[in-house]
Structure 1
Amino acid sequence: MYFDGSAFGNPGEADIGGVFRRRDGNISWVFSGPNGVASSTKAEILAALTGIRLARDGYSNFTIKGDSANGINWLAEPDSGPWSLAHYLTEVRDIPSTLNVHLGWISRELNTVVDGLAKAGVHRDYLFSDNSFPEDVEQRKRH
């Protein structure tokens, strides 16, 4: 699962996005949506948390990748991260205890599809979650 969060302002209007890929690289599920007002750091953690919540009902073994090195480190290391995110980080860390989860960092340049999903989320009134891209993101992928 690849995730990304962004905020327009810091803090500002925040949004999240994510993509689940099969081992062959094909996309099996996407999500994109608004996340209220948050810092970019909080948006990253909430994107990871949303993806894990979606994954726990259908996946037992998966990799989580994000382009925030701090976010990945905080998810991996107990008792790390800002105190203001402790509640979210604890939930993220507790969910994988029932799953086989691996964490990894990915460069921003390789995470552009998910970045597009996150940025499109600010224009939604709901969390989009489906096995295909929303039309607004699909059109951007073609250009």
Structure 2
Amino acid sequence: MKVNFDGSSFGNPGPAGIGGLCHNSFRTSLWAFSGPLGVCDSSEAEVRAAYEGIKHLDRGVLDISYVEGDSLNVIRWLRGSAKPPWRFWSLFDEINDIVGGSSIAFQHVRKSANGEEDCFAREGVVREELEFFDFHPP
């Protein structure tokens, strides 16, 4: 199982949204999220998208192996190989509380491999609130 996340900001700073998708090893979608952030920069949008995806790892699936995103900085911060800017420390403290001791791997993916998540993030900019979508495979 894996969760992919993405943040979108139209301007830096500008109107922003987040999105993400959880799917199994067969690429069957299990759940997704999309929502607005208001006005922020692209780094904050990416961090908040990662946080939202990680926060909902227990949404019906307990064996998440990977968290993937197309922001190399955010992936490095999640791995602990680089220190996040101080303005994100409280979010990373919460993330560490959630994933502490687990074997989740944080992986960078190319933007072209994060297309669906990018759509959810862009759509999130204009949503009224954070929305979740549960998919029930046949």
Asked if these proteins are the same fold (TM beyond 0.5), I'd say yes
Deviations 1:74-125 (A, max 9, x none): 0110771111111112211221016442110110011111101100001100
User: Distance between the aligned counterparts of 2:119 and 2:73, measured in 1?
Assistant: 21
How many angstroms apart in 2 are the aligned matches of 1:102 and 1:58? 19
The amino acid that maps onto 2:116 is: V
Unaligned segments of structure 2, at least 5 residues: none
For residues 27 and 54 of structure 1, the distance between their equivalents in structure 2, rounded to whole angstroms, comes to 15
Q: Of residues 88, 93, 96 in structure 2, which corresponds to 1:90?
A: 93
Cα distance between partner residues in 1 of 2:94 and 2:131? 22
Matched, 1:131 2:134: yes
Distance 1:106 1:119, change over 3 A: same
Q: CA RMSD in A?
A: 1.6
Aligned residues: 132
Give, in whole Å, the separation in 1 of the partners of 2:116 and 2:45: 17
Q: How does 1:52-91 map to 2 (within 5 A)?
A: 52-62=54-64, 63-77=66-80, 80-91=83-94
Tell me: CA distance 1:53–1:37, structure 2 relative to 1, closer, same or farther (3 Å): same
Equivalent-residue separation in structure 1 for 2:86 and 2:7 (angstroms): 19
Establish whether residue 106 from structure 1 lines up as the match of residue 109 from structure 2. yes
Letter in 2 for 1:102: A
In the alignment, which residue of structure 1 is the partner of 2:34? 32
Deviations 1:19-75 (A, max 9, x none): 001111111111101012211001101001101111135333311000000000001
> Tell me, which stretches of 5 or more residues in structure 1 are unaligned?
133-143
The CA distance in 2 between the partners of 1:94 and 1:67, in whole Å, is 23
Which aligned runs of 4 or more in structure 1 are off by greater than 6 angstroms? none
Higher share of residues assigned helix: 1
TM-score (norm 2): 0.88
Is the 2:76–2:82 Cα contact (8 Å) retained in structure 1?
A: no
Q: Normalising to structure 1: TM-score of the pair?
A: 0.85
Amino-acid identity (%) = 36
